[in-house]
Homo-oligomer: A and B are copies of this chain.
Amino acid sequence: MIILGVDPGLTRCGVGVIEAGAARRLSFIHVDVVRSEPTLSQDLRLMAIYEGLAAKMDRFSPDAVSIERVFAQSNRNTVLGTAQAAGMGMLAAAQRGIPVALHTPTEAKLAITGNGQAEKIQVERMVMRFLNLNTIPTPADAADALALAICHALRPAGALQGGEREEHLTAAQRQWAQASQQAKNRHGVDRGM
């Protein structure tokens, strides 16, 4: 299963592609940043991000696209551009019939390190370990995009099924399900999962 992760942004959009095999064996395929020129008008910037993300999807034909869930509480100066960039990724995926999952940063940290409040360096080290990389993937937004792809590959089976009974979940799965539920409750609009 090929998973393409997107760390959305209007100026820089991280893209990370991995393959998830049997027994949660993960391998690195690609990492890059899609950019838009800040001097362009908003519509042309969004088109640049859309075209960049669509080209990555056409090149790697992912089975799933994992995008960071954007919250209205985030940085006021950039949150709308970030949400619009995430929207470009959702549209490009939907047009190709690729399922989209939205994951919060907390979900990603939890899935990768077992700690939803993990430091950035811990997440980066675990990304390296999962993907057998010798160096931390750069730039930072590219590493975050890989983390989102890994998060989707490692998500507990129960995380995406609302009907799953709580007692069948492991402690980590319960923590995940709670974080996911909290995210949904906090922010009704992004019910993309």
Write the residues of chain A forming the contact surface with B, with a CB cutoff of 8 angstroms: 10, 41-44, 46-47, 50, 70-73, 76-81, 83-84, 86-88, 90-91, 93-95, 100, 102, 187-193
**A72 proximity list for chain B (CB < 8 A):** 72, 76-77, 79-80
Are B189 and A80 neighbours in the complex by a CB distance under 8 Å? yes
CA distance A193 to B93 in the complex (A): 28
Given the known inter-chain contacts A47-B91, A91-B91, please indicate yes or no for A42 contacting B79, CB distance below 8 A.
Answer: no
Are A43 and B93 neighbours in the complex by a CB distance under 8 Å? yes
Minimum Cβ distance to chain B for residue A65 (Å): 8
Copies in the complex: 2
CA distance A161 to B77 in the complex (A): 24
Minimum Cβ distance to chain B for residue A4 (Å): 13
Partner of A87, one of B41, B88, B95: B88
Are A70 and B77 neighbours in the complex by a CB distance under 8 Å? no
**A71 proximity list for chain B (CB < 8 A):** 80
**A193 proximity list for chain B (CB < 8 A):** 41
Are A41 and B189 neighbours in the complex by a CB distance under 8 Å? no
Minimum Cβ distance to chain B for residue A13 (Å): 13
Are A90 and B190 neighbours in the complex by a CB distance under 8 Å? no
Partner of A84, one of B73, B87, B95, B102: B87
**A91 proximity list for chain B (CB < 8 A):** 43, 46-47, 50, 88, 91
CA distance A90 to B36 in the complex (A): 15
Q: Which residue of B lies closest to A44 (CB)?
A: B94
CA distance A78 to B190 in the complex (A): 9
**A90 proximity list for chain B (CB < 8 A):** 42-43, 46-47, 84
Q: Which residue of B lies closest to A83 (CB)?
A: B80
